Chain A
């Protein structure tokens, strides 16, 4: 077993930084343009399509099992809303509880402040290496790049992060960052960049995971600092919760002497007891497991067990901006389960890249414009990166009506663009849509009426271009003609 840093300087060390750069570059472009290379890549589409289909099937089976799934979703929705409605009180309570248990709480208004705090904390320990557990929030804050620039070697502890690090690319999925890579590609990446990978490495996923295990385990013993995210923070007890299947999180929060956990202020739930709901919803919706193989919960520091120092960095970075929008606010209920990605027909074809570096799929289309604003063309294009088919809303474990929020955001985008005296046809359409979809009865009637018109417009079962002013808008959007009866209609009559 070699101590970290003892071996030759390795390519993995700060491998995440180039990925960040690549992701940032793709952010300059609007979704439709950024998606083009992915759409042309048949290998990527095939790999991703098969992988998300597997995830989707497992999650569907897991959600169909409990007789009280709908009650759990309803409770999950309500307690996430309750958390947001009194977020200030809960944050203060969380801070008291964590501090009382020997932890330290830091507040970061934006990503830059989070980077300053974390780099400062790592410097204070004198450590040259940091272990990093998979976390969308750590990535959102740009921590791997910032640490690398500060001369600290960042070692991804998870297999998915290891693969995207070797490929120098951005992650494509929330919970499985390397889902777009097939086994042959992973094998090639390992043979090229993974120290100690055997030359006769097969492309069996178990062998690949085994080679990664040998490499990753070689590095943990000397690590003095780890950076992780958290799935939930219980405000009343100050307990942080992390769910995972590969043990990389456990390793980060158990072995090093200093643990730095970076979490969005939206991760708060009112009470420890609420986990009885969320620990049922998250695993089933996310990986299709009844329970994720590992769930860790810790409260401050535990003398004699694990880190001697615990730092919790609470990150705003646009979350309060989203909170201010009474309609869009519901997006902050999100528990990052990935279920909406796995059912999304757009995501399945484009992968995560075109959505930008932080959040892929429907959740990204819904949250990124709210966190970052819609001034940039890239973010403004995200609410339109959806067919509004509604599959995401059907699976979301905390019942976020993602299509309704996307329609609302389309309205926001169009409003923000109307320096022109005459509203664009799109603005008129979106306002109308928002009005129709805002009410169940209106929506039902409109679907029935719309079905008849749409079937008249279709050619060979597909609608390719709407007539008149909306022609340009529909240019790049083919939709199948709707069936004669909608699902709601069919279900309602049974």
Chain B
């Protein structure tokens, strides 16, 4: 008997003949934000902003025609010399950038190049206001997962309409067949005395630009 069959047999034996049916899962938890948490769209954005900041990321609001300027200002502020971007990043986001070398992926950049880059700029697939989270699914303007892992600074552009209130709302929006990365603040560790410190891998700086159209 293969181990597969053996394990399945053990499971069936353990559960016995009349195991009954599982009672339905009580789903009385909140699917959406309550009116107390956010009554209007502006409240949702405010909540997202507050929670991102509490996750120790930087967050700024810009109008749609200011994205290029804001991206350039952020990268100059960090004195970035070389950055990586997904090849399908909207052209306008880097339009104001001067004096910074932007490498597109694909063609696939090797890990050394990623490590030698100062920053990565991406969009996202969705965001959760309540937890201050952005979710990347490898879709447009997001690139491979390695891009947002290796450089030390991640600048993520979020459109206001991508921000949902709760975790259930975002889980419903996402396609699990895609590679998903939920990011809630910069890399962190509490491995020494449970004191928070910058983590061993992943960007130690996360900056989020909220684009209000």
Contact = CB atoms under 8 A, between A and B. Distances in A.
A350 to B, nearest CB: 18
Contacts of B187: 245-247, 293-294
A338 to B, nearest CB: 11
23 contacts: A51-B193, A55-B194, A67-B34, A72-B29, A75-B25, A159-B200, A186-B192, A205-B192, A205-B195, A245-B187, A245-B189, A246-B189, A246-B201, A251-B202, A279-B167, A290-B184, A291-B131, A293-B55, A293-B184, A302-B138, A305-B138, A316-B10, A324-B13
A97 to B, nearest CB: 10
Interface of A: 1, 47, 50-52, 54-55, 66-68, 71-72, 74-75, 78-79, 81-82, 85-88, 91-92, 95, 101, 107-109, 113, 157-160, 162-163, 176-179, 181-183, 186, 205-206, 208-210, 212-213, 216-217, 220-221, 234, 237, 239, 245-248, 250-251, 254-255, 265, 272-277, 279-280, 287, 289-299, 302, 304-306, 314, 316, 320-321, 323-324
Contact of A101 (B34, B112, B172, B177): B177
B200 A246 contact: yes
B36 to A, nearest CB: 8
B3 interface: yes
A314 B7 contact: yes
A306 B111 CA distance: 12
A250 B12 contact: no
Nearest to A134: B191
Interface stretch (B61-69, B75-83, B144-152): B144-152
Contact of B202 (A74, A183, A247, A280): A247
A177 B176 CA distance: 30
Contacts of A234: 176
Contacts of B192: 159, 163, 178, 181, 183, 186, 205, 208-209
Contacts of A186: 192
B40 interface: no
Contacts of A296: 145, 179-182
A290 B115 contact: no
Contact of A320 (B4, B11, B28, B198): B11
A452 to B, nearest CB: 38
A113 B4 CA distance: 12
Contact of A290 (B4, B10, B130): B130
B118 to A, nearest CB: 14
Contacts, number: 271
Contacts of A178: 191-192
Contacts of B178: 299, 302
A287 B3 contact: no
A382 to B, nearest CB: 21
A66 B31 CA distance: 12
A1 B168 CA distance: 42
A78 B25 contact: yes
A113 B182 contact: no
Given A85-B15, A245-B190, A291 B128 contact: yes
Interface residues of B, number: 74
B23 interface: yes
Contact of B200 (A67, A74, A213, A277): A213
B17 interface: no
B200 A212 contact: yes
Interface of B: 2-4, 6-8, 10-15, 19-30, 34, 51, 54-55, 106, 110-112, 115, 128, 130-133, 138, 144-146, 149, 167-168, 171-172, 176-202
A277 B27 CA distance: 9
Contact of A306 (B144, B167, B184): B144
Contacts of A314: 7
Contact of A250 (B3, B132, B145): B145
B126 to A, nearest CB: 13
Contact of B181 (A54, A66, A294): A294
Contacts of A290: 51, 54-55, 130-132, 184
Q: Which of A91, A206, A293 has the most CB of B within 10 A?
A: A293
Nearest to B145: A254
Contact of B179 (A81, A277, A305): A305
Contact of B188 (A1, A92, A221, A246): A246
A209 B22 contact: no
Contacts of B54: 290
A210 B7 contact: no
Given A88-B12, A205-B192, A246-B187, A82 B176 contact: no
Given A217-B201, A246-B187, A305 B144 contact: yes
A205 B26 contact: no
Q: Nearest 7 CB-CB pairs, A to B?
A: A247-B202, A247-B201, A246-B199, A320-B10, A82-B22, A295-B182, A324-B14
A206 B195 CA distance: 9
